[in-house]
Amino acid sequence: MTKKILVLTGGGDAPGLNAVIRGICKRARKESATGNEKWEVFGSIEAFNGVFSDPQEIVKLTSKRTAGIHVKGGTILKTTNKGNPIKYPVPQPDGTIKFVDRSAELVAKLKKLNFDAIINIGGDGSQKISKSLFEQGMPMIGVPKTIDNDLSATDITFGFQTAVQIATDSFDKLVTTAESHHRVMIMEVMGRDAGWIALHTAIAGGAEICLIPEIPYDINKLVKKIDNRYKNGRGFVNIVVAEGAKPKTGSITASVGDKGSEHVRLGGVAYQLSKQLKDAGCKAEIRETVLGHVQRGGTPVAFDRVLASLFGVKAFELATEKQFGRMVAYKNNTITSVSLEEATQVYNTLQKDSYLVKAAKGLGINFGD
């Protein structure tokens, strides 16, 4: 009898999602051709919304649909960050949003569909959903995804290297103006409450200052550092600031609510930092760039294509081995798996006393601490 897998992508898109989907499908085709079992792979459109919708939006992932998709950004299955079945946003007549638990309804629908495995590709939030559905009897397998690299159960997530590359390319372009105009150029990058993208970009680009959520900064120390670089009226400074960076005193985080989303939206700290610097006496000319979603867009770099493809293959193999309740992971240069319990326990932020931070300081990068 042919076995069936359901694949879905949830949360923000990340370069490499399509490579995971293709990896699962190619490995399944190989197994069907040479192994003991026949497998078919299906995709639910827009995470679990494809299962909820009537008629359901579940497509068969044929070789025609998946050929060559590993080089494409985004996800052919579409995604949403407003489809958490445990906290599903339901618009109310008065315009407000009520969050309801639709997981029992989802489980009932999934049981009817009778999939032998369900592979959920997503970040922290998606893997918490995987864990909950596994506990409700579903054959869940997780694949970690996030450009923020904030999942502790895997050494690295696909999408991160692409984001860092895009940010570094952008940083290099801003250095030109900093040097030519003797300006302070502030570049804001994503990462939510983790400074991974910011610090990697700062090291790769050669920033003078890097501000990350894990190390609150002192605005007066930053002004002093900038002043020192502007002796004789000349100089320039390149700052990388993470969207979640925080000052030691006061607040800075720019955030707006996003209807239906469980998260606040970050973004815009570059402008606030600029104002803070001026208010604290910084005389230099300052310009701000908020990189935003370009960091998540376009084609994945080779590293992310490889990692994502291997994650896809491993996820399929976990399905054949019936290793449910586990998430694929990359640890110590090996593709392995961890329990969803372990996968969702710790948020992976930068440690102040880590070698990465110490080395960055050794390279002359100032954190404003």
Residues 78-117 that bind ligand F6P (CB under 6 A): 81
- The residues near 359 (Cβ < 8 Å, ≥ 6 apart) are 203
- Taking the least distance from each CB to ligand F6P, the nearer of 191 and 268 is 191
- The residues near 55 (Cβ < 8 Å, ≥ 6 apart) are none
Q: Does 145 bind ligand F6P (CB under 6 A)?
A: no
The window from 64-72, 142-150, 173-181, 276-284 that contacts ligand F6P (CB under 6 A) reads 142-150
CA diameter of the chain: 79
Tell me the angle at which helices 124-135 and 103-113 cross, rounded to the nearest 10 degrees: 70
The window from 95-103, 141-149, 245-253, 349-357 that contacts ligand F6P (CB under 6 A) reads 141-149
Q: Which of 43, 73, 125, 191 binds ligand F6P (CB under 6 A)?
A: 191
In the DSSP assignment, the letter for residue 286 is E
> What token pair was written down for 95?
């315009």
Q: Does 192 bind ligand F6P (CB under 6 A)?
A: yes
Q: Which of 116, 148, 193, 304 is catalytic?
A: 148
- Taking the least distance from each CB to ligand F6P, the nearer of 28 and 291 is 291
Residue 235-274 contact track with ligand F6P, rule CB under 6 A, x = bound: --------x---------------------xx--------
Q: Does 190 bind ligand F6P (CB under 6 A)?
A: yes
Residues 292-311 that bind ligand F6P (CB under 6 A): 296
Q: Which amino acid is at 141?
A: I
265-266/255-256 β-pairing = antiparallel
Q: Tell me whether residue 148 is one of the annotated catalytic residues.
A: yes
Distance in angstroms (rounded) separating the CA atoms of residues 260 and 50 = 18
Q: Does 148 bind ligand F6P (CB under 6 A)?
A: yes
- The residues near 246 (Cβ < 8 Å, ≥ 6 apart) are 213, 216, 217, 252, 253
Total number of residues shown for the chain: 369
In the DSSP assignment, the letter for residue 349 is P
Q: Which of 147, 199, 315, 340 binds ligand F6P (CB under 6 A)?
A: 147
Residues designated as active site: 148
**What does the binding site for ligand F6P look like in residue numbers (CB under 6 A)?**
12, 81, 146-148, 190-192, 243, 265-266, 296
